[in-house]
Each structure stands twice: as C-alpha cells, then as structure tokens.
Amino acid sequence: MGEPVRRGGGELHTEVADRAVPVVLDAVESLPDEGTLVVVSHGGTIRMAVGRMLELPEHSWEALGGLSNCCWSVLGRGYRGWRLEEHNAGTLPEPVMGDDT
C-alpha cells in the first residue's frame, strides 16, 4: 500500500476523519427521536467521514468516489452500525411542492 502522503502539506485522510467524525457523532447524539442531521462540507471530507463511520479500511475510502456539487450522501443507523443508504444523490425521490404551485 505504501505510506500515507500529505498532499500540499495538508492533513492525511485519517486526520480529516479524526477531526470530522466526532463532530458529526456529537451532533447525532443531540438529535430528537427521528431527527435528521444535515452536514455540509467539502466532498473529500464527507467521503472520509463516511468511510470511517462505515468502518471501511482507510485504503478503500476512495471507492466511495467524490461528491458532485450540490449532491449528498445519506447514512442511517442499522443493527450493526452505520449503513450507506444513498451516495452522490442529486435529485429528491418525490416532487417538492412550493408555495408557487
């Protein structure tokens, strides 16, 4: 596999996950029952956090692929931990009804 590389002197992928995941988990703990948490960040940070939360080995996080602009991933809790329900989604499953319709 080789040694991790600090691209441009930045953080390692694991360091990004070390920083991002605790913030997400703390916010999840404060949600009401059936609450939804929306996390907005750079696609790479989201990918690394998702990889860590899914307990994937770090070398496989790239398999998730990047997020396109204005797209999202959806994680849900399963009996065995977090599960990826959607990734790089960009359209809503049903029409959104606004005030102008």
Residue 98, CA atoms < 13 Å, CB-side half-sphere: 1
What are the residue boundaries of the structural domains of the chain, listed by start?
Answer: 7-89
pLDDT given at position 54: 97
In 3-state terms, what secondary structure has residue 84? strand
What is the value of pTM for the model shown?
0.81
Higher-pLDDT residue of 30, 65: 30
Quick one: 92 exposed, middle or buried, by C-beta within 10 A (0-12, 13-18, 19+)? exposed
Residues 1-58 have pLDDT tens digits of 667 778 788 899 999 999 999 999 999 999 999 899 999 999 999 999 999 999 999 9
DSSP lists the bridge partners of residue 77 as 82
Number of helices and strands (H, E) in the chain? 2, 2
CATH H-level, domain 7-89: superfamily: Phosphoglycerate mutase-like (3.40.50.1240)
pLDDT given at position 7: 77
